[in-house]
Amino acid sequence: MNAVKTFHRRGIVEGFFGPLWSMAHRRRLFAFGATRGMNTYLYAPKDDPYHRKLWRQPYPKTQWRELLRLIRAAQKQQIDFVYGFHPGEGLYFGDDRVVRILLRKARRFYDAGVRTFAVLFDDIPSRLNDPRDRRAFKNSLARAEGTWMTKIIAAQPASWSAVEWWICPSYYSEDVLLERVFGQFEPEFLETLAQYLPPNIPCFWTGPSVVSKSITLAHVRRIAKKMKRPLLLWDNYPVNDLSMRDELHIRPLTGRDPRLPECAYGYLNNPLLQEQLSFLPLATCFDYAHAPAKYRAESSWTKIVRQRFGAEALPHWRSLRNYGSIESVKNFRDKCPNANADLQRNCQSPPHYGRAPIDRNHARVPRPLAQPGRRS
């Protein structure tokens, strides 16, 4: 591949478990990110019921009005608003009526100006649940997911030629954690997916781990060769949901190869839950995504701390970022009464949202719910 300087898609995937960000914060983030090269925002918060649990249902009037305002705010900043569907839990892939339900819901977003949609099959059981699907798709979840995307594109209105569809496959990392939680995946999942997925459908991948310490060009090139599709990197930094909920990821982004745009179509970060503090690490993510070859982690981080809190706050933030947990932050705050007031306001632990942590460092995969019954 020819060397390229930046990713085509750069921005945020709001894909965490837990309390939803406020609409006001999302709009602030659009303005903040647009000045740093952000051009894409994927709306996929796991705890929005109409995104996941109740995905087949249209948004009620109040929530829909709020989403319309958010879409317009993104458009004003020239950010592509991408809506994500999370249909995998209990899905009977053989039911064409469900495809029509999805497209009917997508139509509402299309009429509001949305031209990119994502179908997300992450964090569901690794095997087909419905016996009819097991027969029809030769017991292959990869085949079912690829075929389902083909059905969506075949059934969409002819006038939607400019619409772009993305997919997050259930197998989105080589991390053994996925199989420990969701069961053993079929051999050659990605190759089978590529066989049945429509051409040119961008595919998500989180790297060598669910939460990757580093992502190299060699790794991305190898995965892209298997998928044979444009690759979208879903980077789970600086997110701190699930088993990471007591951690505070405010360090600069590191460990990302500056040559990744050579093999990756897009690079999106799953953000920190704390709204105000999220600006610190995200600024460094945006700087990397916009100009990977020129990115300097410490310079980027120092610049954003100075901009938001002033140069005099730098020593406090340099000390704070080494603590790494909400509890340690509170201890630091108590020992440093002169710490910046924003620190005292913003270092709050998000409420517990009822999901058991997994005994693994930096794991963010939820335990699967009980196997759902057959749905038609």
d(Cα 5, Cα 344) in Å, to the nearest integer? 39
pTM for this model (two decimals) = 0.88
The predicted structure's pLDDT at residue 154: 97
For the stretch 209-234, pLDDT in tens is 999 999 999 999 999 999 999 999 99
Angle at 267 between CA 210 and CA 199, to 5 degrees: 95
Convert the pLDDT of each residue in 95-149 to its tens digit.
999 999 999 999 999 999 999 999 999 999 999 999 999 999 999 999 999 999 9
Q: Is 191 helix (H, G, I), strand (E, B) or coil?
A: helix
Residue 282 CB-density burial (10 A; 0-12 exposed, 13-18 middle, 19+ buried): buried
Please give the Cα distance from 286 to 77 (Å, whole number): 15
Q: Is the preceding peptide bond at 238 cis, omega within 30 degrees of 0?
A: yes
User: Residues with Cβ < 8 Å from 6, sequence gap 6 or more?
Assistant: 37, 261, 289, 290, 291, 292
Q: What share of the chain is helix, strand, coil (3-state, %, to 5)?
A: 40, 10, 50
CB atoms within 10 A of CB 2: 4
Whole-number Å distance between alpha carbons of 305 and 313:
8
Bridge pairing between strands 9-14 and 40-43? parallel
pLDDT value of position 364:
52
Residues 6+ apart with CB under 8 A from 52: 46, 86, 89
pLDDT value of position 246? 80
Q: How far is CA 128 from CA 47, 72, 176, 204, in A?
A: 24, 38, 19, 20
Region of 327 (left: φ > 0; alpha: ψ -120 to 50; beta: rest) is: alpha
Low-confidence ranges of the chain (pLDDT < 50): 1-2, 332-333, 335, 338-340, 342-363, 367-376
Q: Which amino acid is at 80?
A: D
Are residues 114 and 82 in contact, defined by beta-carbon separation less than 8 angstroms?
Answer: yes
